[in-house]
Structures are given as structure tokens and as C-alpha cells.
Structure 1
Amino acid sequence: MNLSNLTPAAGSVKTRKRIGRGTGSGLGGTSTKGHKGQKSRSGYSKKIGFEGGQMPIQRRLPKFGFKNVNRVEYKAINLDTLQILAETKKLSKIGLVELREAGFLSKTALVKILGNGVLTVKIEVEANGFSKSAEEAIVAAGGTVVKL
């Protein structure tokens, strides 16, 4: 075997269509474009969103919704999650670093502690935001709240 006798597998290579090379080729005349009409002319290219002359959807439907550029997204973490984390890892302080290491946060996420669940452990909690109920529950359990 050498490079001169290598060939592609049978049926894997097809010859390309040679369009517009005379009637004898079977692809001459209209060059597979059919008879007349906009699509048969030279220079035709369909515009994005063109629906054959029908009023396009982006003009039929009104603009909808509003995206606030200044919105701040928080990752919500509940008190029961803090309870489990404090018990399993035996932590007295839970901050962004501990939550990231536990796999609850990405690098850039902001955290808001919410009051779902029960907290019985005395811990210091660092976060970007707290709900009133969460703050009260942490203080009632003997812990402290630090807002970043």
C-alpha cells in the first residue's frame, strides 16, 4: 500500500452539480431555478424575516417587556442550608468563601439569606443581603449578621 493507490470508499464521494452548462447537461436553461419570479432573477437574496410579502411577525406584534439594566440578581440561600452547613463542617462563621467552597455560589454571585427553615446554631453570617425574618432568626439563635 502506498499513497498512489489510496481511494475513498465506494459511494462516499459525489460529483458536484455543474449548473448552467448547457441543455445537454440536464441542468442548463433555467439552471434549477424554475421559470420567472423574484427567486429566478440575478441578485436575489431573501431578507431576514421576509414572509413572502405578508406583514412580518416583528411588525405585527408590538414590543413587549422591559429589562432593567440596573437590576441586581442575588443567589438565595435559606436558613436550613446554613444550619446543615454549620453542623456538617462545624463552622462558627459562614461567609461567601465558605458558601463558594461548599458549591452553592459562583465566583461573582451576590448572596441574600432568606428565612426559610430553622436555625439553632450560633453562627456569624456574612452576606450581601438579608431578609427581615432571616436576620431576626440569626440574632435570636445568638448569632451575628454582617452585611457586605
Structure 2
Amino acid sequence: MQNLRVPDGARKRKQIVGRGSGSGRGGYSGRGRNGQNARSGGGVRLGFEGGQMPLYRRIARRGFSNADFREEYETINICDFVGRFDDGDTVTLESLKEKKVLKQGVTKVKVLGNGEIDKKLMIQVDMVSAGAKAKIEKAGGKVTGIEEGNDGK
């Protein structure tokens, strides 16, 4: 215990500014030659371009945006089922949350086809990609009661 010491460079002295030229941070105190950004509270607002018409006002905003109505799906791959589900199990949103594959706040899920599966599983989720559906059915499983996705594209 007697030979413990702080590594070199672990403790740095606080840089004190504005205390004369001998301190190394005198003069302009590291703020340059007193432009707008050197002042207390200085600087310009976000998006300001020096009086030029800013980009967000130069570009026209037209048309309809579906962003407010977009449905967000949490994606999981079929390789996430391996080791978590036994042969013949039913995979639902609730069972995925119980097995800690998904977080508790998730409301919609889409299964993608990355990886391999060798167990017969019953998949009952919101969406399954075409590639995942083919792999699940090839392994003897079944996909029921879902919308068919577009293979993750």
C-alpha cells in the first residue's frame, strides 16, 4: 500500500486566465483579438449566416410530410431467437420482452432474416420480412397474423 501513486498526467492544474503575461494566459486571455465571440455572452444564434438569408429560409417548404404519422418498428433478427426459445415455442411481443430481447417500452416489432434458425417456432409479431418468413417456414415454423414486410428495404 505504501507504493501507490497517482499516474503521471492524471492531475492537471486548473488553467487560470487574465492574471498577467507571466502566467501564459495574459493579454487577451486566450480569446483572440476581441471579436464578437471573445465577449461575454457573445456569438450568434444557431443558423445565423452573417446577415445572408439563412439556408432554412432559402429552401422552400412544400408538400406533405408523413413524419407525424410514421410507425416505428423495433427490428430484431431471427438469429436473436437462437438459444432463447425452445422448439415449439410461440414468439410474441410479450415473450420477447420477458426474455429481454426487447425493452419494455417497445410496442411494434419487425423480424428480419439475418442469421439462421433450426427450431420450429410460431411467430406472432407485427411484421416479418419475406426473407425471415422463408427461413422460419423452411425450419418447420409458422408465421401467423402479421403484415408481410418488404425484406427490410
Residue 111 of structure 1, CA deviation: 0.8
Q: Is the 8 A contact 1:79 1:117 kept in 2?
A: yes
> What 5-or-longer segments of structure 2 have no aligned partner?
1-45, 147-153
Alignment length, in residue pairs? 100
Q: Does 1:123 align with 2:121?
A: yes
Identify which of 72, 86, 92 aligns with 2:89.
92
TM-score relative to the length of structure 1: 0.53
* TM-score when normalising by structure 2: 0.51
Paired with 1:77 and 1:65, the residues of 2 have a C-alpha distance of 33
- Mapping of residues 1-148 of structure 1, within 5 Å: 55-56=53-54, 58-63=56-61, 67-68=65-66, 69-86=68-85, 92-103=89-100, 104-148=102-146
CA-to-aligned-CA distance 1:94-118 (integer Å, 9 cap, x gap): 1111111223133342011111100
2:116 partner SS? coil
Unpaired runs of 5+ in structure 1?
Answer: 1-47
Percent of paired sites with the same residue: 35
Q: Does the 8 Å contact 1:50/1:56 carry over to 2?
A: yes
Pair 1:57–1:147, CA change in 2 (3 A): same
Alpha-carbon contact 1:100-1:107 (below 8 Å) kept? no
Per-residue deviation, 1:62: 4.4
Structure 2 distance, partners of 1:66, 1:105, is: 32
Q: Which runs of 4+ in 1 moved over 6 A?
A: 48-52
The structure with more helix, counted as a fraction of residues: 1
